[in-house]
Structure 1
């Protein structure tokens, strides 16, 4: 039987706080961009593809940001 290998993170522990701040900041900027686009454009001039792309990118960055916030604070998920 082969010896068991330990599971380790692909990202060094020291990078967690930096990644948390960076990904949350980018996610919040994309969210703000989405809301500004929705508030300033008329219903006829909106582009559905741009809305979905911006919302999906913001969601991905905020999702990873919340993961790294939890990891940086010691909650291992």
Structure 2
């Protein structure tokens, strides 16, 4: 039974971690900036809750995965 067990491995090659971290953090920061610009420039009557939630969720996902890959690329295995 112990012979059929495969070791746990990452679905993403280790050499891609720094590149993924940079791109995902950049995209997350750009979406976050667009969220802040939208909040600052639109009036209360013209705001859309769906757009705010969607933009916030997209930024959160990209910043979360970007942070994960940044930690993985620096050797902190979480």
TM-score, normalised on structure 1?
0.97
Aligned positions of 1:31-50 closer than 5 A: 31-50=32-51
Structure 2 unmatched runs, 5+: none
Whole-Å Cα distance in 1 between the matches of residues 37 and 22 of structure 2? 22
Residue matched to 2:29: 28
The alignment yields a C-alpha RMSD, in angstroms, of: 0.7
Whole-Å Cα distance in 2 between the matches of residues 2 and 17 of structure 1? 34
Structure 1 unmatched runs, 5+: none
Aligned positions of 1:56-75 closer than 5 A: 56-75=57-76
Aligned positions of 1:12-27 closer than 5 A: 12-27=13-28
How far the C-alpha of 1:63 sits from its partner, in A, is 0.3
SS of 1:50's equivalent in the other structure is helix
How far the C-alpha of 1:2 sits from its partner, in A, is 4.7
TM-score, normalised on structure 2?
0.96
Aligned length: 77
SS of 2:44's equivalent in the other structure is coil
